[in-house]
Amino acid sequence: MPQPVDQRTLAYVIVGGAIGVLGRAAIVGPVGDDVVPWVTLAINAAGSLLLGIVVGWLDDRHPRTRAFLGTGVLGGFTTYSAFAVQTALWVSTPWLAIGLAGASLTAGIAGAIAGLFVGRRIGRRIAGLPGEIEPPEDAR
């Protein structure tokens, strides 16, 4: 049976999502249509890096802060749907579409990995633990 949603956490996600969407709109709004796919790539890469930092730093601590920053702000800031549509619109130039898709996935995954590494280091320093990072197979 599904767990009931905590209303306060849901409110944090909603407010965070609005902030993230406004941030993305402020960046994408002023640029020309020909540049939007590349700006979206940059936004998604930066958002993946920042999400990795948030998840690595907070881990299972501060679930409302993680919901606000991760699911809310960064979930609203990044956009898979715009990436998918922009890639599909370039179907007439398949190599460009494949390049955009490949670059977006590579940058997102690389950003997330780097962010997790940085976030875990931050979390350990704040907690006063040694600077070593546990291998992924030992992570919770």
In the predicted structure, residue 138 carries a pLDDT above the cut 60: no
Does residue 1 lie within any of the structural domains? no
CA of residue 137 relative to chain centroid, distance: 23
Average confidence (pLDDT) over 64-92: 91
Does residue 40 lie within any of the structural domains? yes
Is there a contact between 77 and 17 (Cβ–Cβ < 8 Å)? no
pLDDT band of 136, cuts 50, 70, 90: low
Query: Which pLDDT tens digit goes with each residue over 82-129?
Result: 889 988 888 888 998 899 999 999 999 999 999 999 999 998 888 765
- Helix and strand totals (H; E) in the chain: 6, 0
pLDDT band of 139, cuts 50, 70, 90: very low
CA distance 73 to 125: 24
Does residue 139 lie within any of the structural domains? no
CB-based burial label for 9 (10 Å; 0-12, 13-18, 19+): middle
Does residue 140 lie within any of the structural domains? no
In the predicted structure, residue 137 carries a pLDDT above the cut 80: no
93 is in an annotated binding site: no
Does residue 138 lie within any of the structural domains? no
In the predicted structure, residue 2 carries a pLDDT above the cut 90: no
Domain that holds residue 25: 7-130
Which is higher by pLDDT, 4 or 44? 44
Percentage of the chain beyond pLDDT 70 is 91
119 is in an annotated binding site: no
Does residue 47 lie within any of the structural domains? yes
Structural domains in the chain (count): 1
Does residue 43 lie within any of the structural domains? yes
Kindly report whether the global pTM for this prediction surpasses the value 0.75: yes
Does residue 2 lie within any of the structural domains? no
In the predicted structure, residue 35 carries a pLDDT above the cut 60: yes
